[in-house]
Each structure stands twice: as C-alpha cells, then as structure tokens.
Amino acid sequence: MAGSPLDGAALAQLFTDARTQYGWDETPVSESQLRQLYDLVKMGPTSANASPARFIFCHSPDARAKLAATVSAANQPKVMAAPVTVIIGFDPKFYDRLPELFPHVDARPWFNWSADFARETAFRNSSLQGAYLIMAARALGWDTGPMSGFDKKTVDAAFWADTGIETNFICSLGKGNGQGVFPRLPRLAFEDAAQIL
C-alpha cells in the first residue's frame, strides 16, 4: 500500500544531497541508535523473506582497529575515524532460518538444492540489505561511507571465524565532516542506462 511521495527535502536527504563521506566528526553513535537502524533495515524485502545479511557493528576502538588492519591503506583512516564501521556479511546457509522467517511453506528446498545457487541468492539479497542500511542511516540523519577496499579472506577469518558467513562490503556510519568529498560526479543519462519496453 503506497503512501504519498516524499517531499523535496526528504529526497535530498536520501538521494540528491547525500554524499559518500570520507572524514568524520566526533558525534557518537549509540547502541540504541544502531538497534533503531537495524529495526528499519530488517523491514526491507528479500527473497522469501530470507534475510541473509549479517551485520557486525565495529563500534569499540579495539574492533575498529581490528577491522582497520584488514582494509587498504587508503581506507584505514576512514575506519579509525568513523564512530562505527559495519561489516555487511551474508550467510550462504540462510535457508536454515526459513522455517522461522517464511513459516507458511517449507521454502528450504527452493535454495538448498545447490550451494552455488544459495550463495548467489545470499550475496544478492545481502547487497539489497546493505543498500537498505545506507538509506535507513540517511533517513535517520546519519552519513555513510560504503567501501570495498579490504581483504575479504582476512575480514572473514577475523570476524566471522568458523560461522560460514562471508563478507559482502563494509560501510562507515556517523556524522561526516565533508573533508575529501568530491564535487558531485556525473551520472548516466536515462537513455544510456535504461529502456522502457
């Protein structure tokens, strides 16, 4: 059931004025705010309500330092300066939770027939959930800095250990200070990126 279109200020906060941040001020992000953020993220749609994303909020200095040791040299100061950097992971065996999340039918056979298909589904849907995280953070008044410059195997070993969960990408959260932000870069025109059939 669709609502009314958001006004220009809301669209600016979510899209047109929002920017990837590289520098951060000292505004803290509390545990209750992270829980509020997750409570929005979890409402976004995924295949069969599978919800394969898993999140580690690197909030403490020790956790941020541990993560910083796994990222590129250019990303290390971003991780250390941000009050929180989230590791967005995915569970390739998400289907084990489907009896809880999709209780009206046994949907496990839709996915567990193939490890490759299940992993592809988990990666796709965790990417959606990571995007929901970015938009939910912006909606709550936070800035974001998504990154993919990290050593995946090292992050997986350091944070997910023997869980089988894999890292998709990472994203810093907080109040950006605007430092290092480029002028708005071009985007593809509709005609270059889309078609109506």
Beta bridge partners of 54: 89
- Identify whether the C-beta of residue 79 lies closer than 8 Å to the C-beta of residue 67: yes
- Identify whether the C-beta of residue 104 lies closer than 8 Å to the C-beta of residue 49: no
Q: What is the pLDDT of residues 91-149, one digit of tens each?
A: 999 999 999 999 999 999 999 999 999 999 999 999 999 999 999 999 999 999 999 99
At 2, the pLDDT band (50, 70, 90 cuts) reads confident
- Identify whether the C-beta of residue 49 lies closer than 8 Å to the C-beta of residue 124: no
Q: What is the pLDDT of residues 59-75, one digit of tens each?
A: 999 999 999 999 999 99
Domains along the sequence of the chain with CATH: 23-178 (3.40.109.10)
The three state secondary structure string of 77-114 is HHHHHCCEEEEEEECCCHHHHHHHHCCCCCCHHHHCCC
84-90, strands of its sheet edge to edge: 53-58, 84-90, 166-174, 143-147
- Is the predicted pLDDT of residue 1 greater than 80, yes or no? no
pTM of the model: 0.96
DSSP state at residue 132: H
